[in-house]
Amino acid sequence: MDQELLKQCEAVAKEWATNPVFDAQTQAEVRAMLENDDKTQLIDSFYQTLEFGTGGLRGIMGPGTNRMNIYTVGAATQGLANYLKKNFADRDKISVAVGVDCRNNSDVFAERVADIFAANGIYVYLFDDMRPTPEVSFAIRYLGCQSGVNITASHNPREYNGYKAYWDDGAQVLPPHDKGIIEEVNRVRYEDVKTGGDKKYITIIGEEVDQEYIDAVHTLSIDKAAIERQKDLCIVYTPLHGAGMMMIPRSLKAWGFENVNCVPEQMVKDGNFPTVVSPNPENAEAMTLAINLAKKLDADIVMASDPDADRIAMACKDTNGEWTIINGNQTMLIFLYYIIKNRVDQGLMKGNEFVVKTIVTTEMVKKVADKYGIEMRDCYTGFKWIAREILISEGVKKYIGGGEESFGFLAEDFCRDKDSVSACSLLAEICAWAKDQGKSLYQILMDIYMEYGFSYNKAVNVVRPGKTGADEIKAMMENYRQNPPTELAGEKVTLVKDWSVLEATDDKGNKTKLVQPATSNVLQYFTASGTKASVRPSGTEPKIKFYIEVEGKMQSPADYKACCEAAEKKCLDVLKSLGVE
């Protein structure tokens, strides 16, 4: 054990155990850590201050500088309030929207946030109950706010909570404001946090924003006639105990779908997520109850949202009638294929449209966009970067959709974060359009592969929690830079992209500059056959992520499973080339 680190942690913990700024329960819990012979929890709770990153905060709940609690949340809010007052000093009124999800302590944290803003003379629009993250983004724009906060840890395990900070465009904060806020937050001492705000600064909001949001989402429908013909489409939906239950069934009804079946056990608000191992719809296990209900009802589609209802997951029947999960890359591909093809077919294109994907998302999207002459842009992981593309082209070019491999899609520009409310509604429309042609969603996916070629994606997360884990992840990235792989599954690496220095290097040593508004700790390796491997540490969780894509040929839909098996083997070989077993 690092005795110097332990000594530093104990010094900070003793301050928490005695300083009257901390409540009695917090002090007691910290004293228990100090008295425990096992110092692991003490070190993990105090070895650093929970970092206010470019997206806000996310961490395990509990006492300590490296935990989500009313004090770390309070310091973040005070820093944000200080920055807002400096940045909007010329305004008579500064306002923010504050939302929550279903997690334990979310209501407590949201009330703390609202109180601190009020104590700083900032007006607060506080939602009366949990709402989807995209609705908070919408509310910021609709209400003319300068900022916003959503208390959520998205799809993280139950012990986590988080704090997403937004700017006046409804997107998570981008440079230079992200750095400016971080600097202000880092200056705040717990004693500096203002509380006891006047209630006149806080307005409770709900239905008036809900209806405007639902009406806006409904404008995204492309083929209303198909919905009318297939309004009895059998839909199974689960919110996984989260905020999606507030708006997604309502949105589906507004679009005209009359046979929506919600998983009853998961239509219960519960931050303990009792029916799943983890509330992450990327994990097939989270879809179990929904698929069981779909089998019982012989449903057409299963859809799920994560706890803050920004991510969407889906499952459908294959040609043998077996339920299969559609992964995040396929989800993105299906959405943009439908949007582009049907907007073209209905004469809705004006020639100034564009779509966006993240650099780790399937390259198949570009093939679809290229066929129809639609501009496709690449950006970093995180919807704030997609939102930036919308912002810089606002009023000049038309954004018609964008997403990422981690089950996030945004079809609209009236909110600026991924949106499972609009995505679920659009998914139902896609299924109705497919059924109108006598097809299933699965058959639409096969049509795409037959037209554009087969592609297979695999993502692997290597989890390394705590201080030692953070050090290990850092060392892994350094090793990849110092000793880059020369082959992937036996194929020569022909191009390396290092986004931390915005530089691409080919196999002859030629270097070219990469164009992005900032650097990012991402490495990518490419081969001539279309294999792509991306490596990046997570910005919100203690893990390093590997994204593999391989391409292949599919002669007919009957070849799909064999192609997947061969591609899976190749992905595993690629991971071995990267030292991941």
3-state class of 351 per DSSP?
A: coil
What DSSP line would sit under 520-543, residue for residue? Answer: -S-EEEEETTS-EEEEEE-SSSSE
- Residue 272 pLDDT class (50, 70, 90 cuts): very high
For residue range 193-213, list pLDDT tens digits in order: 999 999 999 999 999 999 999
User: Which entry of 95, 106, 137, 154 is annotated as an active-site residue?
Assistant: 154
Please tell me the predicted confidence (pLDDT) of residue 398.
97
Find all residues with CB under 8 Å of 330, minimum gap 6, and list them. Answer: 445
Specify the range with the lowest mean pLDDT, choosing from 165-169, 282-286, 407-411: 282-286
Secondary structure letter of residue 281 according to DSSP: T
- 538: annotated active-site residue: no
Find all residues with CB under 8 Å of 450, minimum gap 6, and list them. Answer: 554, 556, 557
3-state class of 501 per DSSP?
A: coil
Residue type, 268: V
Please give the structure tokens belonging to residue 517: 């508004």
Q: How far apart are CA 27 and CA 14, in angstroms?
A: 9
Evaluate if residue 539 carries a pLDDT over 80. Answer: no
Identify the CA nearest to 152 among candidates 96, 205, 99, 76: 99
Find all residues with CB under 8 Å of 555, minimum gap 6, and list them. Answer: none
Tell me the domain boundaries of the chain: 48-205, 213-452, 454-577
Dihedral sign of CA atoms 496, 501, 503, 508 in order: negative
Dihedral sign of CA atoms 513, 514, 519, 525 in order: negative
Give the helix/strand (H/E) hosting 128.
none
Evaluate if residue 331 carries a pLDDT over 80. Answer: yes
Other Cβ atoms closer than 10 A to 225: 10
Please tell me the predicted confidence (pLDDT) of residue 468.
80
What DSSP line would sit under 388-406, residue for residue? Answer: HHHHHTTTTSEEEEEEETT
Identify the CA nearest to 528 among candidates 487, 483, 578, 485: 487
What does the pLDDT average to over 40-66? Answer: 91
Evaluate if residue 452 carries a pLDDT over 90. Answer: yes
Please give the structure tokens belonging to residue 59: 């961490």
Task: Indicate the pairing of strand 454-463 with strand 408-410.
Answer: unpaired
Specify the range with the lowest mean pLDDT, choosing from 98-112, 135-149, 450-464: 450-464
Task: Indicate the pairing of strand 301-305 with strand 235-238.
Answer: parallel
Q: How far apart are CA 441 and CA 444, in angstroms?
A: 5
**CATH number belonging to domain 213-452:** 3.40.120.10
Task: Indicate the pairing of strand 95-100 with strand 147-151.
Answer: parallel
Residue the block writes with tokens 């409540």: 23
What are the CA-CA distances from residue 19 to residues 4, 13, 14, 28 (Å)?
A: 23, 10, 8, 12
**CATH number belonging to domain 48-205:** 3.40.120.10
Evaluate if residue 540 carries a pLDDT over 70. Answer: no
Evaluate whether 48-205 and 454-577 have a shared fold: no
CATH of 454-577, one of 2.60.40, 3.30.390, 3.30.310, 3.30.420: 3.30.310
Taking the mean position of all CA atoms in its chain, how far away is CA 352?
A: 27
Give the helix/strand (H/E) hosting 340.
helix 328-345
Please tell me the predicted confidence (pLDDT) of residue 1.
59
Please tell me the predicted confidence (pLDDT) of residue 230.
98
The answer to whether 234 touches 405, Cβ cutoff 8 Å, is no
Evaluate if residue 56 carries a pLDDT over 80. Answer: yes
